Amino acid sequence: MGVLATPMMSFTHMYAANLLYFYCTYGLSSCVAMVVKREDGPLLAVLTSLIIGIMGGVAPPLSKVKGWRMVWLWRSSPGVWFTEAYFSQNLLPFDYLYVLEVASESLGFTLGQFRLDMLMLFVIGTIYRIVAYFGLIFVDRQRQK
C-alpha cells in the first residue's frame, strides 16, 4: 500500500502499525508452537494467522458483530486494532470532504484513537508471548529421537 497507493498516513505510523501487527502474529505463532508437534506447527500457525485476518472487523463488520454480542472476541484479536488504526489514519485527513461518522458507524470502528490501537497491539502481542513462555515451561512435550 505504501508503494503502490498514496496512503494518507505517515510512513512512521504505517511502519509502527505493521511492526506491532507482526509482533502479535509471531507471538500467537509461538503459542501454537508450544502446544503442537513440530511438523504440525507451521500449518496451525498459518491457520491461526488467517483467523486473525478474518477477525479484522471488515467482513463481517464490527457493527454487525455488536448485534451478535461477540465484540469481545473480535476486540481480543489484533486484526481489529490493526485495521482500525489504518482505517482511522487514512480517513481522518478527508474529514472536510466526507461524513466520516457514517463510515465509522457502518463498520463499527472508532476514529482518532491511533495510540490506543497501537497500545492494544503491543499488549495483545505481549500477552501471546507470556502465554507461549508459560507453555514452554509447563507443557510436557516428549522429545523425539
Q: What pTM does this model have?
A: 0.88
User: Residue 2 carries which DSSP code?
Assistant: T
Each of the 145 residues of the chain gets a pLDDT tens digit; together they read: 667 778 889 999 999 999 999 999 899 988 888 888 888 888 887 888 788 878 888 888 888 888 898 889 989 999 999 999 999 999 999 999 999 999 899 889 999 999 999 999 999 999 999 999 998 888 876 654 4
Within the chain, strands assigned E span none
- Give the DSSP letter string of 55-86: TTSBTTBHHHHHHHT-HHHHHTSHHHHHHHHH
